[in-house]
Structure 1
Amino acid sequence: MAPDSVPAWIDPMLAKPDGGRLREGPQWAYEYKLDGYRVTMRIAAAGTTVLTSRNGLDLTAEFADLTGVLAEALHGRAAVLDGEVVVYNEAGQIDFGLLQQRRGRFQKHRTARRTEPFTDVPVRFLVFDLLLLDGRLLLDEPYEQRRARLSELAMPDPFRVAVVPSFTTADLAAERLTPQRLLERVAAEGHEGLVAKRLDSPYLPGKRPDFWCKHPLVQTREVIVCGWRPGQSGFTGTVGGLLLGAHDPDTGELVYIGDVGTGFTRRDRDQLRDRLAPLERPRHPFSATPPREDVVRARWVEPELVGEVRFRQFTRGEHGRLRHTAWRGLRADRSPAEVVAPQPGRSPAPAEPPDIGRRITVKADGRRLTLSNLDKPLYPDGFTKGEVIDYYTRVAPVLLPHLRGRPVTFVRFPDGVGRQAFFQKNADAGAPDWLPIAALPSGGSRRGTNAGEIIRYPLIEELAALVWAANLAALELHVPQWRVAPGPARGLPDRLVFDLDPGPGTSIVECCRVAERLHTALTADGLAPTAKTSGGKGLQVYAAITTDDPGWPSAYAKALAERFAAETPGLVTAKMTKALRTGKVFIDWSQNNPAKTTVAPYSLRGRDHPAASAPVTWDEIRDCQHAEELAFTADDVLDRVAEHGDLFAV
């Protein structure tokens, strides 16, 4: 590599949420969770420095005062370092709000084509990993060794660059500390939390493995509902998010403190819409007008309702904002006059970690449930039952509408993925007495099944039922293309499905090409298709239908599949024979048989990692060129729901 050649960018490895349980043991080390911009610093042997964001953006010009800072310490060696760019406030605390303000001012500075350096708000690069040194990649070395190499580098200017402290169990013991006591110290110092890292962990670019686990500190706060945004996509016609206010502790004026768009059930959104409608007013109620970009599409209301949110941080500076908020509910026992904004300079209190013991009792929608073995890994990567329950709890608002009224078949993994799994249709004697049951005759789709047998299918229609199922290690939820009719009885099909299964030598990429053709054909027939990944290698295309003929969906799907196979025999097969699938996509039209089921949207899958069946857009399908582009984990799905709502809603 030439001396002036900057090493290639390395996609940063990400930390996985720890589900509220701080990892402990001699195999773990702990670092402060930082609240800045994740940045990779790439340094050529000659000292040329490039700063790259987590998503590959060049930030060198924005943080020009950090370039060259480490050249002296490297003595002519090329290096790649992973870390966080932060800004400190006057109290000596890392302040994300000030960093955001700095970014806004820098962008105006650049737009105005000003050439002088932008240095009036100092930034600092906090390094926590060394990925390359002297041309040698260190990704396969254990974290402990990479940290040792990093600690050998002298930091020539500690005001601009420093190494993030790392505490092993032995380090903590020497200071008479435990991981929980360290967490209390972190809270008192105003940091976001801790990141636990396994000492033996390699660095996996772009991955979010279970050996880096983040433990954020979370607070709750009472807020005044001052406005709302109408929902979009799956939340059209209801509340999409709330605009929040509180009283300034010094002046008593009502000030804008941010918004919240997650944590609601569909019922919450609809009830809030109805509560807020009679309170509508033409202008905002704040003493100062909020930033325009924060209140696009806002509908204002009288500041009469008090609610509670969870949040991680209140940004300091002139315009304090709640960050990482989630809705907890209305507080009828609180008056708006009592709601005061957090005071800058005060550190968040440590959150109470949930009790992840062998058995705990929780409430879900007012129902009491006993959960067990929450720390038991159900996936080979260590994803636990507690994390499975947390996922299903958080995804419930968009998942439950697609389960409602449909008898559910579980695929249970009581000893985890890779061990014995089994299908369960009948709700056993241990099912709670409040769980709705649909007693229906078996369809007899499998050999040896008695078509007259009565099966007591569970109906998963509320959060408590979903949590109950997750506690059974029911990772996969499968449903038919019809809902239960009064009686109960099997209703008529209300959904058409094409299950696209890639044969050997093909992938979801080829499924996308077939799905595009299905979209054209279904649209031409007056249908509105939607699509989702199977959570494995395939893709599934659905369309809502109305029919009086239970056999019509299968006949229609079979005819279309056979037409596609005749038109492109080298790409598509409509025959189930596995020997005919090599190099082709099998269009499984038989999933429309009323006796069959498909995996529900947002359901987890029993794979080697917690993959989920994720609704996708047609733009994503058209743009897909690599299989990994449409592979989504539980964390990915939650992020997508927060951003897009329910993409499967029709």
Structure 2
Amino acid sequence: MARKSADGRDEANTPGWVEPMLAKPDGGRLRVGPEWAYEYKLDGYRACMRVAADGTTVLTSRNGIDFTDEFPDLAGVLTEALDGRSAVLDGEVVVYNDAGQIDFGMLQERRGRYQTHRSSVRREEPFEDVPVRFLAFDLLRLGGISLLAEPYDERRRRLTRLPMPDPYRVEVVRGFTFTDLAADRRTPWHLLEHVKASGHEGLIAKLRTAAYTPGRRSDAWAKHPLIQTTEVIVCGYRPGQGRLHGRMGGLLLGAHDPDTGDLVYLGDVGTGFTEAERGRLQARLDALERKRPPFAVAPPRADTARARWVKPVLVGEVVFRQFTRGAGRLRHTSWRGLREDKPPAEVLAPRREVISAAGSRTEAPSPDDHVKAGPVAGEQPVASPTRGTKITVQAGERRLTLSNLDKVLYPDGFTKGEVINYYSRIAPALLPHLACRPVTFIRFPDGVGGEQFFEKNVPHGAPGWLPTVRIARGGTRGPGEPITYALLDELAAVVWAANMAALELHVPQWTVADDGTRRPPDRLVFDLDPGPGTSIVHCCRVAERLYDALAEDGLSPLAKTSGSKGMQLYCAVTTGDPAAPSAYAKKLAQRLARETPDRVTAVMAKAQRTGRVFIDWSQNNPAKTTVAPYSLRGRDRPTVSTPVTWDEVRACRRATQLVFTADDVLDRVDEYGDLLAELDDTRAALP
């Protein structure tokens, strides 16, 4: 019997629906190697496009819902290209905004309008003000022949050979192989930077030899998102107040426990809604009201005040920063829209892992090199690391008690728990640069934007096992009261400092001996500070000149960003005179300033810095400190003082090229190791 669609389409000769193959999360580690290819991760509705030999086109969602009537612009778009052949393509329906970026919010808004018109007055004409585009990334059938068993490379080859008659409505997703990138002297991480800059959602790595496995979440496809999203089930809402009176104020969310299948509470979301969407949601929520919460275990009372519950049938999507261990709550959420293409039964809660801002997931770190959270003998387990609670962790050989892990320390939502997670994971690279160097902390107990403390003396309450050193304070009026500095020589010490909200770690260019005496300087540093009208790009040009001058003197400079606006150059040196590094650095800075007085200044006065890079040679004074490599900075975002290669310095043409956050740095160290590790191996006598 011939199949007929709702509007009378003859589907008798339309190929059958193929349940989509799904990608697994890559755990924050992008797959690399010649066996991999990469495609943009798209931010739209997954759709199977089935085209009959006569051009009849059917669009089907990932869970088998017919999308065809909703996107009439896409009907018959490939008829000319297929030249009388039938085909099945896998792809995504997307909408572009005025900036040329795929915009899921606009697609959701368009769907809301479609649903409203469909349920009231039938609207036949397309939504010409919000055009859609089908981006194809796989060819599953062509001319009656199944391609499912063919390797990805072959399916991709056949797909790209199909002419695209109307690229405004249909196009093939761009693809890159690891080998092609390498031939262009590029890496997958260069591609990822392009993906970030162009506003795409991430990358999908695909095994080039893999077949297409319908309905399976396969290791052959690994997704690397740049933002963390998850599907949720709408289980209730809080009525709005003030200007939102009469409409939904925030949604209460749930998902199925991946182990038990129970519906569990995940938290709420109150941002990301347009006014029109709030109204449409309220109408749907009104029709779904129920008296009791639908969860297997009732949520905390504090979360259910004023709550109204609904039948758990609506599926939505949220962006989130963190999924907390223990309690299993989504933190820092923002609404993305309803997902009519996904049934509630398939919505699973994230695994209870620590999930970072960049989207990488890590299990609770091992005690060998990370912080491991959990109860210890004789103590009661802590339900969750929420504000005001404490949790005991194992850090190397030490047990520490941490608190307020959910406290936001950065304006972008980066929490104290994430600060501790960063410092625990970067510790193997960081600790060699802190070894035997007295540490000065800049603490932000109320977060960036609150009051900050410049702390040299070890604070009261420091653990007894923390090594310290007393150093006499110098001055023009004679020695002052000695300062007792902390020495951070193990993982536990770094975690202890992070728990104090010591975001910034600063160290001098000298070390102390085992008996606490100060050794001569072993590092020479040039701090390049861009004045008004300049940036780190200008610092890079000055750094190149310094590199040449230092190399002529037999030194081997290495570079790092300051994590703020400028950068530093380091050389490992030997000298018996504590004043010699400052004298040498000053002389070299003054030379560059004389050669190009319009671009460089060696004078500290701020009036001299406009349009110039200040070479701060005074950082070599034994009384001064410089931000340590891999230290966070107290800025709007969790940026890091990051070692960089000279190739990166020479290639820098935009300030954003040398801005790295905590998550970026962890990835860099995984890829490159510590770029300053060879510093001590290049030690030479100070000229």
Report the TM range for the smaller structure's normalisation: 0.5 to 0.7
Report the AA paired with residue 597 of structure 1.
T
Structure 2 partner of 1:107: 153
* Cα offset, 1:557, TM superposition: 0.7
Identity %: 52
8 Å contact kept, 1:357–1:373 = yes
The correspondence for 1:410, drawn from 438, 441, 449, is 441
1:370 correspondence with 2:401: yes
Confirm or deny that 1:66 pairs with 2:96: no
- For 2:543, the equivalent position in structure 1 comes to 515
Indicate conservation of the 8 Å contact 1:410/1:424, yes or no: yes
Q: Please give the alpha-carbon distance, in whole angstroms, between the structure 1 residues aligned to 2:413 and 2:579.
A: 44
Q: 2:331 aligns to what?
A: none
Give 1:615's aligned residue.
Answer: 643
Equivalent pair of 1:571/1:584 in contact (CA under 8 Å): yes
1:242-391 matches, cutoff 5 A:
328=366, 355-358=385-388, 359-391=390-422
Does residue 215 (structure 1) correspond to residue 323 (structure 2)? The answer is yes
Alignment equivalent of 1:423, drawn from 451, 454, 458? 454
Opposite residue 631 of structure 1, the aligned amino acid is: V
- 2:518 partner letter: R
**Correspondence 1:481 to 2:509:** yes
The Cα shift of 1:427 comes to 1.0
User: Per-residue deviation at 1:571?
Assistant: 0.4
State the partner residue of 2:343: none
Cα displacement (A) at 1:107: 2.5
8 Å CA contact 1:440–1:456 kept in 2: the answer is yes
- Equivalence for 1:279: none
Pick the aligned partner of 2:42 from 39, 42, 49.
39
CA contact (8 A) 1:395 1:638 kept: yes
Q: CA deviation at 1:642?
A: 1.9
Contact 1:37 1:86 in 2 (8 A): no
Count of residue correspondences: 416
Q: TM-score under structure 2 normalisation? A: 0.52
| Change in CA separation of 1:494 and 1:199 when aligned onto 2, cut-off 3 Å | same
Matched, 1:497 2:522: no
Which whole-Å CA distance do the structure 1 matches of 2:513 and 2:527 have between them? 25
Distance in 1 (CA, whole Å) between partners of 2:599 and 2:149 is: 49
- Describe the SS at the equivalent of 1:493: coil
Conserved? CA contact 1:48–1:68, under 8 Å: no
Query: How far is 1:169 from its partner?
Result: 5.4
CA separation of 1:462 and 1:570: change in aligned 2, threshold 3 A:
same
SS in structure 1 opposite 2:630? coil
Alpha-carbon distance, 1:515 to partner:
0.8
Deviates more, 1:384-393 or 1:400-409: 384-393
One-letter identity of the residue aligned with 2:236: A
Equivalence for 2:671: 643
Question: Structure 1 residues 86 and 499, CA, compared in 2 at 3 Å: closer, same or farther?
Answer: farther
Name the counterpart of 1:167: 233
Partner of 1:200: 272
- 8 A contact 2:508–2:626 mirrored in 1: yes
Aligned-pair CA distance for 1:524: 2.1
Judged with a 3 Å threshold, the aligned counterparts in structure 2 of structure 1 residues 69 and 413 are, in CA distance, closer, same or farther, namely closer
* 1:281-302 deviation per Cα after TM superposition (whole angstroms, max 9, x unaligned): xxxxxxxxxxxxxxxxxxxxxx
1:81 shift after superposition? 8.6
1:43-78 deviations in whole A, cap 9, x for unaligned? 99965999xxxxxxxxxxxx9543779999854454
Letter in 1 for 2:597: P
Q: Rate the CA distance shift 1:438–1:81 in 2: closer, same or farther, 3 A.
A: farther
1-side partners of 2:482 and 2:439: how far apart? 15
Q: Secondary structure at the match of 1:485?
A: coil
Stretches of structure 2 that go unaligned for 5 or more consecutive residues are 1-24, 29-38, 48-70, 78-87, 96-106, 115-125, 141-146, 164-172, 174-214, 217-228, 240-247, 275-317, 327-352, 356-360, 369-381, 679-687
Shift of 1:505: 0.5
CA distance in 2, matches of 1:558, 1:378: 37
Match of 1:498, as an amino acid?
A: F
Q: Decide whether the 8 Å contact of 1:40 with 1:80 is kept in 2.
A: no
Note if contact 2:93-2:132 (Cα within 8 Å) is conserved in structure 1: no
* Contact 1:532/1:615 (<8 A) preserved: yes
**Secondary structure at 1:378 match in 2:** coil
Label 1:217 to 1:597 Cα distance change in 2 as closer, same or farther (>3 A): closer
The aligned amino acid for 2:539 is: C
Matches within 5 A, 1:484-633: 484-633=512-661
> Contact 1:531–1:615 (CA<8 Å) still a contact in 2?
yes
Asked if the contact 1:357/1:374 (under 8 Å) is kept, the reply is yes
- Larger RCO (CA under 8 A, 6+ residues apart): 1
SS in 2 for 1:482: coil
- Cα–Cα, structure 1 residues 581 and 459, in superposed 2: closer, same or farther, change >3 Å? same
Task: Say if 1:364 and 1:463, in contact at 8 Å, map to a contact too.
Answer: yes
- Partner SS, residue 366 of structure 2: strand
Could you tell me how far 1:198 is from its partner in structure 2?
Answer: 5.1
Bigger-Rg structure (1/2): 2
Tell me the amino acid that sits aligned with residue 451 of structure 2. Q
Letter in 2 for 1:396: A
| Pair 1:392 & 2:392 matched | no
Q: Tell me how far 1:613 sits from its aligned partner.
A: 1.0
Tell me how far apart the structure 2 counterparts of residues 649 and 586 of structure 1 sit (CA, whole Å): 27
C-alpha distance in 2 between matches for 1:49 and 1:545 = 71
